[in-house]
């Protein structure tokens, strides 16, 4: 069987319908760290992929970015459903085609809330969570103890920091999670220094 391709890759279902985008750095002897990235409300798989695309080659990150089935993720509309099934399918595709060492969930805004909720619910399978400007975490149950990185802009007008991360992070600490928390001067965004800090944290052994 030929090795799975590298570079920018479309993600499609069995009928060729688009499911998202992926990026695979050139192969080396080492397995990839798989990072599943989730876009914000009204965003796209490309927006999610761009969160870590500039650092993917340097850190050997296999990036997969699904497109939500609606404007945002199913949990925001009421509960896990079609989007979880889509994510499960993409993870299976990654494992079938690439050597994978660890799995990280990451996202921005609504995607960060979804990544946190899904990561806390599957912490026995997920190594780490990257949550850029999350609004909340609502796992139906929790399993395992994934490492967590949270960042938030102090001038965020979309998801204000005082009612989001400044409440969320202490609750995660109280529940025994190891959380790296970064506040930065800015709004609803992921500045390059925050991306670099998150990547360094992710790829440095705890």
Q: Give 31-40 pLDDT, tens digit per residue.
A: 999 999 999 9
**Reported confidence tier of residue 11, pLDDT bands at 50, 70, 90:** confident
Give the number of domains in the chain: 1
* Residue whose C-alpha is closest to residue 184's, from 175, 176, 174, 193: 193
| CATH code of the domain covering residue 78 | 3.40.50.1820
More confident residue, 84 or 57: 57
Look up residue 2 and give its DSSP letter: P
- The predicted-structure confidence for 172-185, as pLDDT tens digits, reads as follows 999 999 999 999 99
Average pLDDT, the chain: 91
Any bridge partners for residue 181, and if so which? 150
> For residue 2, is it within any domain?
no
pLDDT of residue 140: 85
**Reported confidence tier of residue 16, pLDDT bands at 50, 70, 90:** confident
> For residue 105, is it within any domain?
yes
* Residue whose C-alpha is closest to residue 27's, from 57, 50, 65, 54: 57
pLDDT of residue 77: 62
pLDDT above 80: residue 5: no
Look-up of token digits 């080659």: 57
**Reported confidence tier of residue 1, pLDDT bands at 50, 70, 90:** very low
pLDDT above 80: residue 89: yes
> For residue 23, is it within any domain?
yes
> For residue 147, is it within any domain?
yes
Q: How far is CA 205 from CA 104, 128, 202, in A?
A: 14, 11, 8
pLDDT of residue 102: 92
Mean pLDDT of 121-148: 94
C-alpha angle 133-121-22 in degrees, rounded to nearest 5: 60
> For residue 47, is it within any domain?
yes
> For residue 3, is it within any domain?
no
pLDDT above 90: residue 48: yes
pLDDT of residue 19: 84
Mean pLDDT of 154-165: 98
> For residue 104, is it within any domain?
yes
> For residue 18, is it within any domain?
yes
Show the domain range for 43.
Answer: 9-203
What phi, psi does 204 have (nearest 5°)? -100, 125
Q: Which of 3-7, 28-32, 137-141 has the lowest mean pLDDT?
A: 3-7
């Amino acid at each position: 069987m030929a090795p799975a391709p590298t570079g920018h890759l479309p993600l499609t279902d069995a009928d060729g319908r688009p499911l998202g985008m992926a990026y695979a750095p050139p192969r080396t002897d080492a397995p990839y760290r798989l990072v599943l990235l989730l876009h914000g409300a009204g965003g796209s798989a490309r927006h999610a992929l761009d969160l870590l695309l500039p650092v993917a080659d340097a850190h050997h990150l296999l990036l997969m970015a699904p497109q939500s089935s609606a404007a945002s993720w199913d949990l925001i509309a009421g509960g896990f459903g079609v989007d979880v099934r889509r994510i499960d399918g993409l993870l299976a595709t990654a494992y079938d085609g690439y050597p994978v060492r660890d799995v990280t969930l990451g996202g921005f805004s609504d995607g960060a809330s979804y990544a946190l909720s899904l990561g806390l619910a599957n912490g026995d399978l997920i190594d780490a969570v990257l949550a850029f400007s999350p609004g909340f975490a609502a796992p139906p149950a929790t399993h395992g103890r994934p490492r967590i990185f949270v960042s938030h802009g102090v001038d965020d007008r979309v998801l204000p920091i005082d009612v989001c991360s400044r409440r969320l992070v202490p609750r995660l600490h109280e529940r025994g999670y190891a959380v790296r928390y970064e506040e930065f001067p800015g709004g609803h965004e992921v500045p390059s220094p925050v991306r670099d800090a998150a990547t360094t944290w992710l790829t440095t052994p705890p």
